[in-house]
Every structure is written in structure tokens, then in C-alpha cells.
Amino acid sequence: MKRNTMVEEFKQIPLQKQKLEIVERKGLGHPDSICDAILDQVSIKLNQEYLKKFGAIMHYNADKSLLVAGEVETKFGGGAVKLPMLLIFGDRATSEVEGVSVPVEEIAIRAAKDWFRENLRFVDPEKHVKYQVELKPGSAALMDIFKRKGKVLSANDTSAAVGYAPMTKTEELVLNVEKHINSKGFKKEFPETGEDVKVMGFRKNDELNLTISIAFVDMFVEDENDYFRKKAEVSERILPFVRENSDFEKITVNVNTLDMPGRGIGGVYLTVLGTSADGADSGQVGRGNRVNGVIPLNRHVSSEAAAGKNPMSHVGKIYNILSHRTASRIYDQVPGIEEVYVWLVSQIGQPIDQPAIAAARVITKPGTSIEDIQAEIEEVMNSELENIDKFCMELAHGKISVC
């Protein structure tokens, strides 16, 4: 099948060799990450229900959400929740097909409660969160896409996405540091560290600076002195991990830099539930990590959030993730490439395996000509698009992470 593909040489210094790089990662318990993760769980549970009842996934886009911060009284030795968080689910979902109903509200709330139980140790989803489901029926035009036959559905939007490969060592380290801090082993050793972790890394030449924000849980902290002692212990444990998993010439790690001794509760980063959403910061879908797990400020990135979108026709999800996967396959399978970016552009109403354009921009290694590898790159792009139906089902069953 002939597709509109393009391959060109990208005359740019690879990011790994540039002088400045900035990368951020919002961790598991960050309010934005909570929204992304829960709304994508809602997506997966809706997929399961639609497939069970109708043998096909119906129209929905559960990709709008707001987590409204609650109100707490933090206190050394353990504070209290005064007002619960509010999680609002928004956008569209099919709730009935030919007289057969789908309990959309029940599915959404159950998915959220299950996620809280499995991921945030100190959040009781029955007591600490209220839920407001605003998933309304979809428009006739978009719902009709799902009634059309064919191997793949039509794109529900005119949109564009871009992915890249490989990740730099800064990107990989920022990602892995957050995962390490939120690992079961780390939490067992330092239960006072909450799940709300943010890592900001910037590299200047071969010097890396990491600023890490960790929400401490007040029930594990006796007083101000105990807080700073525990913070020092946590910092001392993070630094060896960073050094063991990187080869930067110089590494600086700072934790909770807003802290100020002598100011009591006001001078330390304490939470009641391990997330700033309990009483400080609200969250929203799409403000967190890109689909490869980081926020890479030096990169071309997609503008749309993938979390919660329909995996069968919503190119804001499909192309967002597929562009990264295609870039990775090109980098792994085609020799002589230093860095590659893949763009996918959809046209509403056209089959998702037929993008308006699929383009690869490639930084080659010395001695490699773009003409020598163009055919191999196009072959990888065509293969990924040819098998997009299988890819969509992997997304539908939650086999591919989106955040």
C-alpha cells in the first residue's frame, strides 16, 4: 500500500552533544500525573466493558480531568484531612447502544478508586476523594465513525504528533531517579517519602544538576530537626544511585530547596497523604509527562495529551505513542543513525493507517548517507502503519504505558 512518506537529513547537533539540556519528570503522586494515570485507567476499563457487551470499542474520549486540591492541617507527628480532594472526569462516552446501557459513571469512579488504592499508600479513596463524572454522550458525527466497517477506523481529528529516539542519558536518568524514589524498596526504607516526587534536571556540557522535590508524610516526622535529619538521609541515598547509573563528569543533587530551618511547619515540605494534591496543588490531564515519561524541553513534542483518549480513532493518542515507537524501531533497526524524529499528521475522516504525511528527519552518523538508508527507514514506517490495528488493540488493553 502506497503511503505519503518522507525522509530527510536533519542538519542539527544531536541533543546528547549540545551544551544545554533541560528535562523534567513529574512522579507518580504529582497531581498532574494522578490525572493522567487515572483517566487512562478509565479508558482501559471502558474498552473492556464495550468489548464485553458489543464486541467493539464505542465512541468516547475520557481525556479531560481536573483534580481539585483538598484542604489539610499538616502537623509534626501526623495531621488531618479537613476537606477531601475532588476528582472531575470530563468529556464524552457512549452510555447506551441499541437499548443496552453502559454504567459509565460507575466504571469511571471504580477505576479511580482502584488506582488510588494500588498507587498512593495514604490516600483512602472513600474518605479522601470526592468524584464528579461529567462524561456526556458524543456528537453524532464522531459516534458514526465507530459504525463504519474496515480494518481500521477513520481519524477523529486533524492532528499531528512527533516522537524521537534515542533518549539521552539525561532523560533516562531523570526518569529512573523518580522511579527509584517511588520504588517499593525505597518506600520501605524511607516510608516518610510520599509519592509526589518531581525531578528537574539540567545538563551544562557534562555537568548535571538535579533538583528533586519530595513530599514528606507528616506522620513520620516528629519535629523540625527530625525532618532535616530524614531529608539528609534521603539525599545521601539518592546521590549514590545517580552516580551508579550515570557517567557525568560532575553531579549535583538538591532536595526540597524551598525548606528553611527555624520556620517550623512553614519551612518544610510536609503533606498528610504523600501528595501535594491533599492541600496545595491541583492537577490536570496533559500537564504532566509526555508519553515516553519525561518532559524534554529541548525536543520537538506533541501538543496533545494521550491519557484517556480513545485508542481506536483518536490520533491524539495513537499517533502520539506510535511516533515514539516508530522512531525507536528506526533507531534500533537501521544502522548509521545518531538521532531520529518521526512526525505523523492525520486528516479527519481518513483511515488512521493512511496519515496525511509520515515524515522522518534523521541525524546520521559520520560516513552514513541519508540516501543509503532512506528505503530502510520508509520500510519501518510502513510496517508500523500497516500493523496499526494490532497497535491500537495493545493500547486498548493497557499494554502500552501512556504516561
Domain CATH for 264: 3.30.300.340
**Per-residue pLDDT at 146:** 64
Q: Has residue 211 got a pLDDT over 80?
A: yes
Does the residue 237 lie in any domain? yes
Does the residue 270 lie in any domain? yes
Amino acid at 202: F
Write down the mean pLDDT value for the chain: 95
Does the residue 72 lie in any domain? no
Does the residue 242 lie in any domain? yes
What DSSP character marks residue 263? S
As a whole number of Å, the end-to-end CA separation of the chain is 32
Q: Which residues of 53-71 are buried (b: 16+ CB within 10 A; e: fewer)?
A: eeeebbbbbbbbbbbbbbe
**Per-residue pLDDT at 402:** 87
The number of C-alpha atoms within 13 Å of 171 and in the hemisphere containing its C-beta is: 18
Residue 105 pLDDT level (bands cut at 50, 70, 90): very high
Q: Has residue 148 got a pLDDT over 80?
A: no
Q: How many domains does the chain have?
A: 1
Nine cell digits for residue 242? 545517580
**Per-residue pLDDT at 143:** 59
Instruction: Using DSSP, state whether 247 is helix, strand or coil.
Output: coil
Q: Where are the beta strands (DSSP E) in 159-298?
A: 160-165, 193-204, 207-217, 250-255, 270-271, 283-284, 295-296
The pLDDT of 332-353, averaged and rounded, is: 96
**Per-residue pLDDT at 137:** 85
Kindly state the percentage of the chain with pLDDT values over 90.
91
Burial environment of residue 259 by CB neighbours within 10 A (0 to 12, 13 to 18, 19 or more): middle
Q: Report CA torsion sign: 331, 336, 341, 346.
A: negative
Which residues are CB-contacts of 244 (< 8 A; sequence separation ≥ 6)? Answer: none
Q: Has residue 268 got a pLDDT over 80?
A: yes
CA 44/CA 52 separation, integer angstroms: 12
CA 386/CA 57 separation, integer angstroms: 20
Chain segment 162-190, per-residue pLDDT in tens: 999 999 999 999 999 999 999 999 999 99
Chain segment 370-388, per-residue pLDDT in tens: 999 999 999 999 999 999 9
* Domain encompassing residue 181: 16-26+168-284
Instruction: Using DSSP, state whether 188 is helix, strand or coil.
Output: helix
Residue 124 pLDDT level (bands cut at 50, 70, 90): very high
Kindly state the percentage of the chain with pLDDT values over 70.
97
Give me the count of residues in the chain.
403
Does the residue 194 lie in any domain? yes
The pLDDT of 280-301, averaged and rounded, is: 96
Nine cell digits for residue 381? 514506517
Nine cell digits for residue 232? 539528609
Does the residue 75 lie in any domain? no
C-alpha distance from residue 158 to each of 123, 150, 153, 155, 317 (Å): 39, 20, 14, 7, 13
**Per-residue pLDDT at 333:** 98
CB-based contact 46:60 (threshold 8 Å): yes
pTM of the model: 0.95
Q: Has residue 141 got a pLDDT over 60?
A: no
What DSSP character marks residue 135? E
C-alpha distance from residue 64 to each of 89, 91, 260, 394, 395 (Å): 6, 6, 37, 22, 18
Q: Has residue 255 got a pLDDT over 60?
A: yes
Does the residue 115 lie in any domain? no
With cell 551508579, the residue in question is 244
Nine cell digits for residue 49? 466493558
Residue 144 pLDDT level (bands cut at 50, 70, 90): low
Which residues are CB-contacts of 343 (< 8 A; sequence separation ≥ 6)? Answer: 160, 161, 162, 323, 357, 358, 359, 360, 361
The number of C-alpha atoms within 13 Å of 311 and in the hemisphere containing its C-beta is: 33
Does the residue 227 lie in any domain? yes
The pLDDT of 105-110, averaged and rounded, is: 98
Residue 147 pLDDT level (bands cut at 50, 70, 90): low
Instruction: Using DSSP, state whether 85 is helix, strand or coil.
Output: strand
